Structure 1
Amino acid sequence: MNLHQLRFVREAVRQGFNLTEAAKALFTSQPGVSKAIIELEEELGVDIFARHGKRIRGLTEPGRAVLQSAELILKEIDSLKRIGNEFAAQDTGSFTIATTHTQARYALPKVVQAFAQRYPKVRLSLLQGNPRQVADMVLRDQADIAIATESIAEVAGLVSLPCYQWEHMVVVPPDHALLKSRSLTLEEIAAWPLITYDAAFAGRNKIDKAFSMRGLKPDVLLEAIDADVIKTYVELGMGVGIIAGMAYDAERDVNLRAIPAGHLFGTNVSRVALKQGAYMRGYVYTFIELMTPTVNRKLIDQVMSGTNEMYEL
């Protein structure tokens, strides 16, 4: 059995069971196509085509199953060729990043811009989800890398590197009473309705843990996956917001004021994760180096091979 035989079967069906037209489409001879199909039928022990004399009239029942398998095999062969072509050209191809909204909106724009300038022929895609979802996208080969906060470091089948550290900030309207506090406390924050991230996002577990360790049960009025949504409702005066520090910009967020809260909720680390054992194109290394200048290709290879598992910022 060979790929030519499978192609002949597929093309014969596409050409309405006309072997002469199938041969023309494949730039070969009609007798050669006919012989190859007969040899395949003899090898499989079934008739693929129903015949009337020397003319093919249609597919037999086993022939339909053979065609279905041939279509799948040839589709995979075509995919392999595309992969080979793409990976052979290190400055062209596609690159898919799975990440959270906060990373995509606030951390990645400058990195993506610098990457696009360096690799203008690479097609870049951003997929968004929560940390578990973006990790699964990499595991299922829907994305090349995942970028999220610490939890992706715990996902089996992925290896990860730290990108940068960040702290939470408390955001309030310009005339809010919390701005008068000399050293913000959890008790002061808990006295107000809170607007913050959904439990799966942006270090929310550290926020909950900090309050719990002090025996506090804040009134979480609203949860969201998007810092812009949180800020919108804070601007309306509905409560005190807790967001990732990168999501606050004094020039842009003119209707808000921010109070650093790292002393209350600790430091968070955003990480980039890759599928263990995956082939890395050159421009993927470059993107990671742009994300975190403290790493280089050698270090990335060490982490991917498992010879350097303890690298941290």
Structure 2
Amino acid sequence: MTLKELRCLLAIVDAELNISAAAQLMHATQPSLSRHLKLLEEELGFRLFFRHGRSLTGVTPAGHEVIRIARRIVNDAASIRSYAANIRGEGSGELLLTTPQTYARHVLPPVLAELVKRYPRLNVRIQTLGEGDSAERQLQGGSDIVLVSTAGERVPPGVAIPLFCWKRVVLVPRAHRFAGLRRPLTLEEMACEALVTYDSSRRQDSSLRRALAQAGLEARFACSAQDADLIKVYVRAGLGVGLLGELAVEQADRENFAVLEAAPALPECVAWALLPPGCVARDYTLDLIKLLAPQLDLGEIRQALDGTARPAWPRPRPWWGLDAWPAPETVAKVTMRGTDGARIPPACLS
């Protein structure tokens, strides 16, 4: 039994039993992956998966236990390698970062530019987290860190580290009747308008729907998207009033739109870093967290990772904006990919 065979097993599970997709994750061929699975099952003496013809249809009871142990072994092996690299002071490696597009476009470019300056031989690979994508599955699939957002008091499961908080703002064309307001919009005013906002706001349990429902109101959606820049496009086209994160508003937007405060009843949002539990993080991963949240203590982050403590994290700092960072000369060695592995042009990082 080899680590390669165990990694192939986990790749098949993480690809929802699709061997072709698992082969892509492993950068291997489908026959090679099938051969590794066959060797593993022959050595164990029992089937790990139920089959229908050549397709895998489910995990056997014994398979569930083997998968649990295999994940622990593979993670432990990765932790040993990370620990050794940290001890050697090795700054090279690959950082797989999974993040929503808004963070990839509007938060990370100057932060990653600084990180690459500190670790010139670091290769950062960015994978976008789409609507409905499981953060837990991304961590199981090899992501070193996953960035997510929550609204209000919600805390993500697992090793979740609060980074910063941000508010939602309303974007309207300069000719709109709200453009001259010098106060936050009320929930009633927001309910009267067709909204252009994030896909997640359409969910029945979204903080927007909950806030409106508590006031006896209902949202009216004109259009929604995962990407804040698309929201701006459709506000400019006249589809409705935009509701998006303040961190996605740039100086050019303030010239083209009126940017208003959203109703105070809408809770603040918190950006979180999710890390694989029980794993040793590379030094550059911890430095990335510190760049995003300077108020955090590295010792407490390590304790949270190895499970020896559940730190009482300090309150996340308000979003400081990109003005806090020098404009990056270049964002080198950064490759951005969607969750399907397709490369996204570098222009998406500017």
**TM-score of the pair, normalised by structure 2:** 0.62
Partner SS state of residue 126, structure 1: strand
In terms of mean alpha carbon deviation, does 134-143 or 172-181 score higher?
Answer: 134-143
User: How far does residue 172 in structure 1 lie from its aligned partner after superposition?
Assistant: 0.4
1:254, 1:248 → 2: CA distance?
11
**Going by fraction, where is helix more abundant, 1 or 2?**
1
User: How far does residue 262 in structure 1 lie from its aligned partner after superposition?
Assistant: 5.8
Paired AA for residue 296 in structure 1: D
- The answer to whether the 8 A contact 1:153-1:160 is kept is no
Matched, 1:269 2:239: no
Alignment coverage as a number of residue pairs: 247
Structure 1 residues 310 and 185, CA, compared in 2 at 3 Å: closer, same or farther?
same
Matched, 1:310 2:312: yes
2:123, 2:77 → 1: CA distance?
18
Counterpart of 2:199 in structure 1 is: 198
- The answer to whether the 8 A contact 1:134-1:146 is kept is no
Unaligned runs of 5+ in 2: 3-34, 44-69, 71-75, 316-350
User: How far does residue 129 in structure 1 lie from its aligned partner after superposition?
Assistant: 1.6
Q: What does 1:157-236 correspond to in 2, within 5 Å?
A: 158-183=158-183, 184-199=185-200, 205-236=206-237
User: How far does residue 81 in structure 1 lie from its aligned partner after superposition?
Assistant: 9.4
Partner SS state of residue 94, structure 2: strand
Q: What does 1:56-95 correspond to in 2, within 5 Å?
A: 69=39, 88-89=84-85, 90-95=90-95
Structure number with greater Rg is 1
Partner SS state of residue 189, structure 1: helix
Q: What does 1:1-313 correspond to in 2, within 5 Å?
A: 69=39, 88-89=84-85, 90-130=90-130, 133=133, 135-150=135-150, 154-156=155-157, 158-183=158-183, 184-199=185-200, 205-252=206-253, 254-261=255-262, 263-304=264-305, 305-313=307-315
- The answer to whether the 8 A contact 1:93-1:122 is kept is yes
1:66, 1:230 → 2: CA distance?
46
- The answer to whether the 8 A contact 1:131-1:201 is kept is no
1:82, 1:306 → 2: CA distance?
19
- The answer to whether the 8 A contact 2:149-2:270 is kept is yes
TM-align CA RMSD: 3.5
Structure 1 residues 118 and 283, CA, compared in 2 at 3 Å: closer, same or farther?
same
- The answer to whether the 8 A contact 2:162-2:273 is kept is yes
Counterpart of 2:62 in structure 1 is: none
Structure 1 residues 170 and 155, CA, compared in 2 at 3 Å: closer, same or farther?
closer
Partner SS state of residue 188, structure 1: helix
1:287, 1:216 → 2: CA distance?
41
- The answer to whether the 8 A contact 2:173-2:179 is kept is no
Structure 1 residues 181 and 145, CA, compared in 2 at 3 Å: closer, same or farther?
same
1:288, 1:201 → 2: CA distance?
30
User: How far does residue 82 in structure 1 lie from its aligned partner after superposition?
Assistant: 9.3
Partner SS state of residue 210, structure 2: helix
2:302, 2:82 → 1: CA distance?
21
Partner SS state of residue 290, structure 1: helix
Q: Deviations over 1:7-46 (max 9, x none)?
A: xxxxxxxxxxxxxxxxxxxxxxxxxxxxxxxxxxxxxxxx
User: How far does residue 106 in structure 1 lie from its aligned partner after superposition?
Assistant: 1.0
1:298, 1:67 → 2: CA distance?
40
Structure 1 residues 257 and 67, CA, compared in 2 at 3 Å: closer, same or farther?
closer
- The answer to whether the 8 A contact 1:95-1:123 is kept is yes
Structure 1 residues 190 and 108, CA, compared in 2 at 3 Å: closer, same or farther?
same
Paired AA for residue 205 in structure 1: S
Structure 1 residues 262 and 163, CA, compared in 2 at 3 Å: closer, same or farther?
farther
1:86, 1:246 → 2: CA distance?
33
Structure 1 residues 155 and 66, CA, compared in 2 at 3 Å: closer, same or farther?
closer
User: How far does residue 257 in structure 1 lie from its aligned partner after superposition?
Assistant: 1.6
1:141, 1:271 → 2: CA distance?
19
Structure 1 residues 135 and 312, CA, compared in 2 at 3 Å: closer, same or farther?
farther
Structure 1 residues 83 and 271, CA, compared in 2 at 3 Å: closer, same or farther?
closer
2:196, 2:287 → 1: CA distance?
37
- The answer to whether the 8 A contact 2:82-2:280 is kept is no
1:66, 1:298 → 2: CA distance?
40
1:217, 1:66 → 2: CA distance?
54
1:215, 1:82 → 2: CA distance?
52
In terms of mean alpha carbon deviation, does 172-181 or 283-292 score higher?
Answer: 172-181
Partner SS state of residue 196, structure 2: strand
User: How far does residue 246 in structure 1 lie from its aligned partner after superposition?
Assistant: 0.5
2:297, 2:141 → 1: CA distance?
24
1:272, 1:83 → 2: CA distance?
18
1:221, 1:289 → 2: CA distance?
39
In terms of mean alpha carbon deviation, does 112-121 or 143-152 score higher?
Answer: 143-152
- The answer to whether the 8 A contact 1:250-1:257 is kept is no
Structure 1 residues 234 and 66, CA, compared in 2 at 3 Å: closer, same or farther?
closer
Partner SS state of residue 199, structure 1: helix
